[in-house]
Structure 1
Amino acid sequence: MIGFPSLDEISAQQYLGQTFGQDEASLALFCIFIFDFYKEQKREFPWRDTSDPYRILLSEVMLQQTQTSRVLPKYERFLSLWPTFETFSTCSLDELLAEWKGLGYNRRALNLRKSAKMTEQWNWTIPDDEDLILSLPGVGKSTSSAILCFCYNEKAIYLETNIRRVLLTCFFPEETQVSDKVLEELLKRLALMVEDMKAWYYALMDYGVLLKELLPNANTRSAHYTKQSKFKNSNRQIRGLLIHVLSDTGPKSLDSLYSLLDNFEEERVFACLKQLESEGFVQENEARYGISKD
Structure 2
Amino acid sequence: MSDATPTPSAAPATPAVQVPPEFRQRVLERGRELYRDLPWRRTRDPYQIWISEVMLQQTQVARVDGRWQRWCERFPSVDALAAADAADVLEEWQGMGYNRRALALWRAAGIVSAAGGDMPTEARDLVALPGIGPATAAGIRAFAYDLPGVYLETNVRSVFLHEFYPDAVAVPDKDLVPLVEASCPADGSDPQDDPRTWYYALLDYGAYLKKALPNPSRRSKTHVRQSKFEGSHRQKRAELVRLLLDHRATDRRGIDLVTIAEELSSIEVESGRRKISACDVAALLEELEAEGFCHKIGDNWSA
Provide the TM-score with structure 1 as the length reference: 0.86
Shift of 1:65: 0.8
Match of 1:153 in 2: 146
Paired residues of 1:82 and 1:88 also in contact (CA < 8 A)? yes
Amino acid of the residue matched to residue 53 of structure 2?
E
2:260 pairs with one of 253, 257, 260: 257
Amino acid of the residue matched to residue 269 of structure 1?
V
Shift of 1:192: 4.6
Shift of 1:93: 2.0
Shift of 1:268: 4.4
Paired residues of 2:55 and 2:96 also in contact (CA < 8 A)? yes
Match of 2:175 in 1: 182
Match of 2:297 in 1: 285
Alignment of 1:39-50 (within 5 A): 39-50=32-43
Whose radius of gyration is greater, 1 or 2?
A: 2
Paired residues of 1:235 and 1:268 also in contact (CA < 8 A)? no
Match of 2:246 in 1: 248
Q: Distance in 1 between matches of 2:127 and 2:96?
A: 23
Paired residues of 2:152 and 2:177 also in contact (CA < 8 A)? yes
Q: Distance in 1 between matches of 2:186 and 2:52?
A: 27
Paired residues of 2:172 and 2:222 also in contact (CA < 8 A)? yes
Alignment of 1:162-241 (within 5 A): 162-192=155-185, 195-241=193-239
Shift of 1:94: 2.5
Match of 2:8 in 1: none
Q: Distance in 1 between matches of 2:186 and 2:124?
A: 26
Higher RCO, 1 vs 2 (CA within 8 Å, ≥6 residues apart): 1
Identical aligned pairs, as a percentage?
Answer: 37
Shift of 1:52: 1.4
Which consecutive residues of structure 2, in runs of 5 or more, have no partner in the other structure? 1-16, 188-192, 249-253, 269-274
Q: Secondary structure of the residue that 2:302 maps to in structure 1?
A: strand
* Aligned length in residues: 269
Shift of 1:278: 0.4
Match of 2:103 in 1: 110
Structure 1 runs of 4+ with >4 Å offset: 192-195
Q: Secondary structure of the residue that 2:221 maps to in structure 1?
A: coil
What's the C-alpha RMSD, in Å, of the aligned pairs?
1.8
Q: Secondary structure of the residue that 2:83 maps to in structure 1?
A: coil
Shift of 1:68: 1.0
Which consecutive residues of structure 1, in runs of 5 or more, have no partner in the other structure? 1-22
Provide the TM-score with structure 2 as the length reference: 0.84
Shift of 1:223: 1.4
